[in-house]
Each structure stands twice: as structure tokens, then as C-alpha cells.
Amino acid sequence: MKLDQCINFLLSSAQNVVFQYFIQKLSPYNVTPAQYGVLNCLWNHGDLTPKQIGELLVLEASSTSGILDRMQKNDLINRSIHPENRRTILVTTTKKADNMRIPFENIVQEMNQHFMNNLTDEEKDLLSKSLMRIIQMNKRENSLD
């Protein structure tokens, strides 16, 4: 099989191109794409548990924990004990992180335009729907384990 017919090669190569671009745009803020993902979840869903963040970002618990540790050291998040369940940790954004929201939304919008500019509206829609179907298929399969 040729590489250009292998879904893993196509997805990982495209993801790497976008990832490197995103790293460059976020670097002045000392934030990684994974950390942006966490911030985006918190900005859009409010306070979350580490487990909820991992589920939203399709991350393993150990990966989520490492990302949160680095974010807390950089004063991007706080972790506190849930007031109604002392066994549950809640993750919240800090003021420093909240001040990054507008610039990050602009970066993501510009990045999307940069990579999607050469696609028709129909192609953009098909790409998004196709990728979401792959993600959803994975979530369904993992929930059966």
C-alpha cells in the first residue's frame, strides 16, 4: 500500500503540519496545543474534573495529569476539592489564563483560515464531519471495553 492511501500516515502528517504551526503561534504565551485544549474545555464548559477533561480531549488519565501539573506550575489553572464531594478535584482557569482567551480565539480562527482557505465550503464540512465520525467511532468502541 502506498503511504498516501494509509489513513494513519495522512492523519498524522496533516496533524503534524497543523500542530507545528499552532506551537509556533502559542509559543509567545508559553502554552502548548494540549494546554490550549484544556483551557478551551474550561472556557466552554466551566469547572471540570480531570476525568471530564480527559474524556473531552480523548486523553489517557496519565497524560491529562501531566498536562494539568505543568499548567498549574505556570499559573494557568487551579485545582481544588469539590465542595460537595471531597474525593473529587475541580479544575478552574486562573485570571492569567482567562486573559489569554481572546488572543487564543484569534489565533485559532487565523489558523483555521490558513489551513482551510483552499477548501470549498463543502470540503470543509466533509472534512470536519469525517474526522468527527472517526473520533465518535473510537469513543463508542472504547465505551464497550
pLDDT at 144: 58
Query: Nine-digit cell at 139?
Result: 469513543
Say which residue, 85 or 57, is predicted with more confidence. Answer: 57
- Residues whose CB falls within 8 Å of the CB of residue 59, separated by 6 or more in sequence, listed in order: 34, 53, 67
Helix and strand numbers, DSSP H then E, in the chain: 7, 2
Segment 38-78, tens digit of pLDDT: 999 999 999 999 999 999 998 999 999 999 999 999 999 99
- Identify the CA nearest to 97 among candidates 40, 53, 59, 20: 40
CATH topology of domain 26-107: Arc Repressor Mutant, subunit A (1.10.10)
pLDDT at 93: 98
Q: How far apart are CA 83 and CA 98, in angstroms?
A: 23
Say which residue, 85 or 75, is predicted with more confidence. Answer: 75
Q: How far apart are CA 39 and CA 56, in angstroms?
A: 12
For residue 144, the one-letter residue type is L
Average pLDDT across the chain, whole number:
93
Domains of the chain by residue range: 26-107
pLDDT at 85: 85
